[in-house]
């Protein structure tokens, strides 16, 4: 290969571009199948709109500025909730992972709460916190908390004894030991948890927006559903999917920068 | 002159799933300053436990551990530790690992850097300073682990089968490196291994630990010089046979 | 298998049994196939009972279908109708569109939205005229007249008749929803949020207005009056309805029977509906007389639907054409049954 490229050629190697082609190709094929199925008349077009109609609705929304404002409203809540939930989850995970009394006291309760579906908590949340921004951010934080807590707890719990021993013989103890060994060793685990939390916090936020909200992308999707506007509703879903994918890629890149010692996957 | 390290009647019990286990019983072991002692024992015995007790990472359930006549309060840089696996912190570079101890002590940055570079050069890895352990070979990692332990200028070096997972050639190189470093800096070394040949190559003395519950069966001086001829000498062969049979080989 | 046999054929029957048993033992799969075929043919020949699902919202104007089902009027017409309750008419309509229900009732607003967006649905009758869409407001917090709603927090459920009423109400007082803070909520949550003070008022249908009033007795309630006339419609899939006009007639007949029953036995009907909707008898009594329970197709229905249709298109910023709503009403069966009820 090297002989075919100039020294500073920025274009990707053939294997990389053919990989991208395969991914794009399969996505395009799926879209084509969807378009054909929707247009075939087997399903009513208003329950099952073709991607061309969805794309059209998406473009219209974008042009009118409605899409941007909806995404911004949801995005603010989602990022605040994700940050809050991840921090609390990581802190809780560090505590319950390393300190046995904390684990015995808190773990059963947290595991119990973790499996309660978001929709079942909605009425309670509405009752206690109302329908303002705080309640939505709290709900998104709730969604983010559990994956981060669980993955951090597992990571901290499985910090190898050898690292702790080595650090102690080098003079680390107490809080210093924490900071120098437990936290760095469990960061990759926490990062995985945050990656999951990116989507679970969005699920929780969507539930909150659909039940009582003044704006937001999930609110918009529900609104379109109520008015039988299936293409617009699917356009909202598509927008969320794209944003989620982009967020995930950004996050993965950030993790690679911040945790450079990881062996490349 | 008091012993650099002394274990007096040391015993260690712990609670396993099957009930209380006596890992060590009545262990008496002494290390003179600058002495190189190899501890032989079967796998699964109390070798690592003994080392952890010597380091001060565990407290003995019976007996006491002394360093220079004073009881050992806990772990510290005076008793450097080199382990077999998970030796280096993966989240720090080689330099970061070596600088770990000095940084905790409060050394200034240029001082730390100088010390780290010197040690990395001493173990033969001057160009690997900024690499992460995941980018180093096993042998290189153990070199850095040795450098890290030496950064605290320890009087005692405790090594738990550090070369067990290396291939034969690398192991030889590491043994030579260890001897070279020891010759230069002269700490006391307690080197745990299950390999009789390694013990006889490296140590001034060999101590043999029995299977669980572990106790010192015997200690022997290893004849010097340690060259190719000495290796084939009948005293060495006899000692070797004695060790092997004690290990139950 | 309801076939009856004569004593004279006892021996034949014994032989038949023996033969069937042997066949079952030697050819189990063929036996199963034969059994299925036999049963479906027998079922088809056995009677005119056609199983249908009627999706009904938990709302008072849906009294006629509820009473008809309870009193067995559908069964009398040879229809096997199962009533499926939904918490809102929108969901009941969704069941019809997805093919899970063959008949459905909902207020006219969601039907208009569905038709405007191109869904196939046809109205075969209306079973009530109602005033159920209302506004309830706190009388404190500086809301003395409707114009004071500016900037206040109001809840509505998009796509429903109370949502439409909101637009008409605000327009009548020179406002648009943009002048307020409008949240989407479902009526039970509206009541809770209202009681908590989270919102200053909401647009919904009964009994949720009554619940709000019970939580905050000093509230003010606004009726739709001349701004909005509501009908509880009966809808079906157009292809199905046109293919089975006889079935539609039977449904209409059953509903007409229910209409007569309600007129003659008010308190009993009240009890039936209260039980079905899980409402308090007293609460139901308060709102019962606000509706008129009649099977009809009034001329003003088309006008109302057209007006709502225009609003729906504007709301959805759609470039779709305004449908001719007369084409989405299948009046023939009711006209055949009781011509004076159809004034289209």
* Domain CATH number, residue C155: 3.40.190.10
In a domain, C310, yes or no: yes
Q: How far is CA C191 from CA B121, C137, C201, C203, in A?
A: 76, 11, 9, 10
User: Which chain C positions have a beta carbon within 8 Å of A130's beta carbon?
Assistant: 193, 196, 198
Hey, are the CB atoms on C183 and A131 less than 8 Å from each other? yes
Hey, are the CB atoms on B89 and A184 less than 8 Å from each other? yes
C244 and C211 share one domain: no
Counted domains in chain C: 2
In a domain, C9, yes or no: no
In a domain, C303, yes or no: yes
Hey, are the CB atoms on C155 and A211 less than 8 Å from each other? no
Q: What is the pLDDT of residue A129?
A: 86
Hey, are the CB atoms on C316 and A227 less than 8 Å from each other? yes
- The alpha carbon of residue A32 is apart from the nearest alpha carbon of chain C, in Å, by 23
**Domains of chain A by range and CATH?**
60-258 (1.10.3720.10)
Q: How far apart are CA B56 and CA C219, in angstroms?
A: 75
User: Which chain A positions have a beta carbon within 8 Å of C118's beta carbon?
Assistant: 45-46
- In chain C, the residue whose alpha carbon lies closest to the alpha carbon of A229 is C117
pTM for the model stands at: 0.79
- In chain C, the residue whose alpha carbon lies closest to the alpha carbon of A130 is C198
Q: How far apart are CA C55 and CA C232, in angstroms?
A: 13
Reference C194, options C136, C131, C150, C144; nearest CA is C136
C217 and C142 share one domain: yes
C308 and C321 share one domain: yes
Q: How far apart are CA A143 and CA A118, in angstroms?
A: 8
Hey, are the CB atoms on A184 and B75 less than 8 Å from each other? no
Q: What is the pLDDT of residue A265?
A: 44
Q: How far apart are CA C133 and CA C187, in angstroms?
A: 11
Write the pLDDT tens digit of every residue in C147-175.
889 999 999 999 999 999 999 999 999 99
Of C205, C222, C239, the position where a domain reaches its end is C222
Q: Do chains B and C touch (3 or more CB pairs under 8 A)?
A: no
User: Which chain A positions have a beta carbon within 8 Å of B133's beta carbon?
Assistant: 261
Q: How far apart are CA B230 and CA A79, in angstroms?
A: 71
Sheet order of strands, C103-107 included: C79-86, C50-57, C103-107, C230-236, C122-130
- Indicate the SS3 state at residue C341: helix
C185 and C212 share one domain: yes
Q: Which residues contact A216 (CB under 8 A, 6 or more apart)?
A: A70, A73, A74, A77, A136, A205, A209
**pLDDT tier at B194, thresholds 50, 70, 90:** confident
Q: What is the pLDDT of residue C49?
A: 63
Q: What is the pLDDT of residue A195?
A: 94
Of B58-67, B116-125, B229-238, where does mean pLDDT reach its minimum? B229-238
DSSP B44-65: TSSHHHHHHHHHTSS--SEEEE
- Which residues of chain A carry a pLDDT beneath 70? 1-14, 45, 263-265
Q: Cβ distance C315 to C166 under 8 Å?
A: no
Q: How many CB atoms lie within 10 A of CB C148?
A: 14
C243 and C333 share one domain: yes
C235 and C336 share one domain: yes
Q: How many CB atoms lie within 10 A of CB A188?
A: 17
Q: Do chains C and A touch (3 or more CB pairs under 8 A)?
A: yes
Q: How far apart are CA B215 and CA B237, in angstroms?
A: 24
In a domain, C82, yes or no: yes
Per the structure, the complete domain to which residue C257 belongs is given by: 49-130+230-341
Q: What is the pLDDT of residue A12?
A: 56
How long a stretch of residues is chain C? 344
Could you list the beta-strand ranges (E) of chain B.
Answer: 5-16, 19-31, 36-40, 62-67, 70-71, 79-82, 156-160, 188-193, 205-209, 216-221
- Which residues of chain C carry a pLDDT beneath 70? 1-14, 40-50
Hey, are the CB atoms on A170 and B85 less than 8 Å from each other? no
Of C222, C242, C273, the position where a domain reaches its end is C222
- In chain C, the residue whose alpha carbon lies closest to the alpha carbon of A212 is C185
Q: What is the pLDDT of residue A263?
A: 62
C211 and C324 share one domain: no
Hey, are the CB atoms on A222 and C119 less than 8 Å from each other? no
Q: How far apart are CA C64 and CA C34, in angstroms?
A: 43
Q: Is the ipTM beyond the 0.85 threshold?
A: yes
Nearest to A222 among C110, C184, C317 (CB): C184
Q: Cβ distance C334 to C252 under 8 Å?
A: yes
Mean pLDDT taken over chain B: 88
Torsions phi, psi of A261, nearest 5? -85, -5
C173 and C144 share one domain: yes
Could you list the beta-strand ranges (E) of chain C.
Answer: 50-57, 79-86, 103-107, 122-130, 134-137, 153-156, 181-185, 201-204, 220-222, 230-236
Chain A touched by B53 (CB under 8 Å): no
Q: Cβ distance A253 to A106 under 8 Å?
A: no
Q: How far apart are CA C248 and CA C240, in angstroms?
A: 9
C160 and C263 share one domain: no
Residue appearing with tokens 């209260």: C274
Chosen from A67, A119, A131 to mutate, greatest number of chain C CBs within 10 A = A131
Q: Cβ distance C212 to C93 under 8 Å?
A: no
| Enclosing H/E stretch for A213 | strand A212-213
- In chain C, the residue whose alpha carbon lies closest to the alpha carbon of A43 is C98
C235 and C124 share one domain: yes
Nearest to A126 among C119, C193, C317 (CB): C193
Of C202, C222, C242, the position where a domain reaches its end is C222
- The alpha carbon of residue B58 is apart from the nearest alpha carbon of chain A, in Å, by 10
Q: What is the pLDDT of residue C43?
A: 62
- In chain A, the residue whose alpha carbon lies closest to the alpha carbon of B58 is A165
CA atoms within 13 A on the CB side of B38: 24
Hey, are the CB atoms on A168 and B86 less than 8 Å from each other? no
DSSP C244-301: -HHHHHHHHHHHHHHHHHHHH-HHHHHHHHHHHHT--HHHHHHHHTTSB---BB-HHH
C139 and C218 share one domain: yes
Chain C touched by A219 (CB under 8 Å): yes
Preceding amide of A191 cis, omega within 30? no
Answer whether residue B1 shows pLDDT above 60.
Answer: no
- In chain C, the residue whose alpha carbon lies closest to the alpha carbon of A209 is C184
Chain C touched by A135 (CB under 8 Å): no
Nearest to C193 among A130, A210, A229 (CB): A130
Q: How far apart are CA A219 and CA A209, in angstroms?
A: 5
> For helices C299-315 and C161-172, what crossing angle results, to 10°?
80
C185 and C94 share one domain: no
Hey, are the CB atoms on C113 and A213 less than 8 Å from each other? no
């Amino acid at each position: 290969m090297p002989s075919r490229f100039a020294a500073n050629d920025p274009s990707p190697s053939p294997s990389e571009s053919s990989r991208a082609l395969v991914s794009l190709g399969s996505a395009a094929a799926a879209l084509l199948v969807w378009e054909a199925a929707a247009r075939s008349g087997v399903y009513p077009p208003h329950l099952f709109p073709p991607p061309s109609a969805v794309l059209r609705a998406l473009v219209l929304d974008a042009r009118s500025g409605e899409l941007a404002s909806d995404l911004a409203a949801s995005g603010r809540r989602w990022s605040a909730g994700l940050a809050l939930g991840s921090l609390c989850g990581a802190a809780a995970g560090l505590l319950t992972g390393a300190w046995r009394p904390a684990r015995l006291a808190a773990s059963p309760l947290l595991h119990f709460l973790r499996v309660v579906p978001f929709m079942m908590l909605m009425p309670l949340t509405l009752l206690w916190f109302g329908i303002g921004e705080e309640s939505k951010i709290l709900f998104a934080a709730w969604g983010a908390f559990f994956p981060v807590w669980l993955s951090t707890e597992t990571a901290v719990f499985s910090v190898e004894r050898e690292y702790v021993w080595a650090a102690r013989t080098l003079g680390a103890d107490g809080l210093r030991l924490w900071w120098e060994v437990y936290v760095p060793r469990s960061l990759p685990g926490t990062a995985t948890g945050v990656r999951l939390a990116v989507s679970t916090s969005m699920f929780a936020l969507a539930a909150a927006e659909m039940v009582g909200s003044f704006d937001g992308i999930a609110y918009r999707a529900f609104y379109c559903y109520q008015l039988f506007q299936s293409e617009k509703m699917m356009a909202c879903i598509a927008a969320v999917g794209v944003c989620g994918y982009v967020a995930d890629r950004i996050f993965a890149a950030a993790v690679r920068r911040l945790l450079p010692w990881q062996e490349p996957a | 002159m008091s012993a650099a390290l002394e274990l007096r009647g040391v015993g260690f019990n712990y609670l396993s799933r099957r009930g209380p286990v006596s890992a060590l019983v009545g262990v008496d072991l002494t290390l003179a300053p600058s002495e190189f002692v190899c501890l032989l024992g079967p796998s699964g015995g109390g070798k690592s436990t003994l080392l952890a007790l010597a380091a001060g990472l565990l407290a003995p359930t019976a007996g006491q551990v002394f360093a220079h006549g004073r009881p050992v309060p806990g772990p510290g840089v005076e008793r450097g530790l080199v382990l077999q696996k998970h030796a280096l912190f993966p989240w720090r570079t080689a330099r970061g690992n070596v600088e770990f101890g000095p940084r905790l002590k409060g050394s200034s940055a240029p001082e730390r850097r100088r010390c780290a570079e010197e040690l990395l050069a001493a173990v033969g890895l001057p160009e690997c300073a900024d690499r992460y352990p995941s980018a180093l070979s096993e042998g290189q990692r153990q070199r850095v682990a040795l450098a890290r332990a030496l950064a605290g200028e320890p009087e005692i070096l405790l090594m738990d089968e550090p070369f067990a997972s290396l291939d034969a050639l690398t192991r030889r190189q590491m043994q030579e490196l260890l001897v070279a470093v020891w010759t230069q800096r002269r700490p006391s070394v307690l080197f745990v291994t299950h390999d009789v040949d390694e013990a006889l190559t490296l140590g001034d003395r060999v101590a043999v630990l029995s299977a669980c519950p572990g106790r010192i069966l015997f200690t022997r001086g290893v004849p010097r010089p340690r060259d190719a001829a000495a290796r084939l000498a009948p005293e060495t062969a006899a000692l070797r046979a004695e060790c092997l049979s004690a290990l139950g080989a | 298998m309801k076939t009856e046999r004569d004593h004279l054929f006892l021996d034949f029957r014994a032989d038949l049994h023996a033969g069937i048993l042997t066949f079952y033992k030697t050819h189990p799969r063929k036996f199963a196939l034969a059994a299925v075929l036999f049963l479906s043919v027998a079922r088809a020949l056995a009677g005119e009972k056609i199983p249908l699902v009627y999706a009904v919202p938990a709302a008072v104007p849906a009294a006629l279908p509820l009473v008809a089902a309870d009193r067995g009027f559908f069964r009398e017409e040879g229809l096997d109708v199962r009533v499926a309750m939904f918490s809102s008419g929108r969901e009941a309509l969704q069941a019809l569109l997805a093919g899970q229900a063959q008949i459905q009732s909902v207020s006219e607003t969601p039907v208009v939205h569905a038709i405007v967006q191109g869904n196939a649905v046809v109205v075969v009758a209306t079973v009530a005229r109602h005033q159920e869409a209302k506004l309830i407001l706190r009388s404190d917090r500086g809301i003395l007249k409707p114009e004071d709603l500016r900037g206040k927090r109001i809840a509505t459920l998009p796509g429903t008749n109370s949502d439409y009423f909101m637009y008409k109400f605000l327009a009548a007082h020179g406002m648009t929803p943009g002048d307020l803070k409008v949240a989407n909520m479902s009526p039970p949550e509206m009541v809770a949020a209202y009681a908590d003070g989270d919102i200053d008022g909401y647009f919904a249908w009964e009994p949720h207005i009554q619940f709000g009033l019970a939580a905050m007795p000093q509230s003010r309630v606004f009726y739709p009056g001349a701004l909005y006339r509501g009908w509880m419609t009966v809808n079906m899939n157009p292809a199905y309805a046109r293919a089975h006009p006889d079935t539609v007639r039977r449904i209409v007949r059953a509903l007409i029977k229910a209409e007569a029953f309600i007129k003659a036995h008010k308190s009993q009907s009240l009890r039936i509906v209260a039980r079905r909707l899980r409402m308090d008898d007293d609460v139901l009594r308060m709102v019962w007389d606000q509706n008129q329970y009649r099977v009809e197709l009034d001329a003003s229905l088309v006008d109302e639907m057209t007006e709502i249709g225009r609003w729906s298109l504007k709301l959805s910023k759609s470039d779709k054409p305004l449908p001719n709503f007369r084409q989405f009403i299948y009046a023939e069966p009711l006209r055949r049954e009781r011509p004076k009820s159809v004034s289209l």
